[in-house]
Amino acid sequence: MTRPCDPRPTPQLVTATHIEFRRGHARPDEPRGLFAVRHDSPVPASLDELLALLDLEEIEVNLFRGRQPRTRLQRVFGGQVASQALMAASRTTADDRFPHSLHAYFLRSGDTAVPIVYDVERTRDGSSFSTRRVVARQHGQSIFYLSASFQIAETGFDHQDSAPDAPGPDACPTLGEVLQRISGRPIEAWDEEWAALDVRYAGDSRPGGAIARDGRAARARVWVRASGAIPDQPALHECVLAYASDLTVLAASLVPHGTFIGDPRLRTASIDHAMWFHRPFRADAWLLYDQVSPSASGARGFSTGGLFTEAGVLVASVAQEGLIRRVDRSG
């Protein structure tokens, strides 16, 4: 049943999760190279540019180079690194094997002024599964780890959770409309920044919000799809979804706390990211991203998400933990 979208969107959900490679600014008790979440980081200016970023250069066997978006800033979107690493792993597997899971850690500062080199270890090739480990490097240092498992297509037992009741994407405001309302920044600026993706806000569970908590501490939802047609290459759809999966999931952990990613009173960062691909999908078709945050503690927020087609098919699941530390700026 289609419902109207919540007319009062909040920044907890819609401010996108970006990561900033910091150089030498980590506190002694903070892991080096955590990615500071920002709302103004550069991202591909179009879907064509995003697809071009996924067209990795093979510079040696199992060694790939990924270029950066055009920018003068020292900031990188975490989904870009994850999607390029997944593409590097996919390039070393047989065509009949598809990723069913990935697990990633953001390790160390990087530099958007130079390409990222992805070194793929062919850990195992079995009769049904293949495993790959990818190390992303810049300036001779590891900045990111990803492990991914691939499987041939098989049939077997099948069940899934039901998709939540949500307004359709056409009934929901665009991300640009919501962010303009929050920030005062013109919608054209946001639309240009997010041109590679079409994202619609479908509500959250803050007091008075559109989504019932139903015993959950925090819930948030968006619709997401690529902003144009993607070629019929499964690896591209998987990598674009990996890219999109990092947009809003950490922000769900802030829904109960009256704050948002980008609040100057917070230091926020992606620490790790995991994803499971359950069923075939197209990343250029609408997917409902249903996000839940079961816990926040120790200055960390933990969120999970399920991605459903408009027909209610669960195609992927996501889990992420990130830093959500209060910062005392009074002194």
Q: Can you tell me the distance from the alpha carbon of 10 to that of 295, in angstroms, rounded to the nearest whole number? A: 20
CB 17 within 8 A of CB 194: no
Residue 320 is among the residues annotated as catalytic for this protein: yes
Q: What are 13's two structure tokens?
A: 């959900």
Q: Can you tell me the distance from the alpha carbon of 45 to that of 299, in angstroms, rounded to the nearest whole number? A: 33
Task: Count the neighbouring beta carbons within 10 Å of the beta carbon of residue 307.
Answer: 25
Q: Can you tell me the distance from the alpha carbon of 44 to that of 54, in angstroms, rounded to the nearest whole number? A: 11
DSSP bridge pairs for 63: 60, 119
Q: What are 124's two structure tokens?
A: 């195992």
Taking Cα atoms as reference points, which of 308, 1, 316 lies closest to residue 162?
A: 308
SS3 state at 257? helix
Which is catalytic among the residues 246, 263, 284, 290?
A: 246
SS3 state at 130? strand
CB 150 within 8 A of CB 235: no
Alpha helices for the chain (secondary structure H): 11-14, 47-53, 78-90, 175-183, 187-193, 234-245
Q: Can you tell me the distance from the alpha carbon of 275 to that of 122, in angstroms, rounded to the nearest whole number? A: 20
Q: What are 70's two structure tokens?
A: 């055009």
Taking Cα atoms as reference points, which of 234, 274, 245 lies closest to residue 153?
A: 234
Q: Which residue type does 7 have?
A: P
Residue 246 is among the residues annotated as catalytic for this protein: yes
Residues catalogued as catalytic: 246, 270, 320
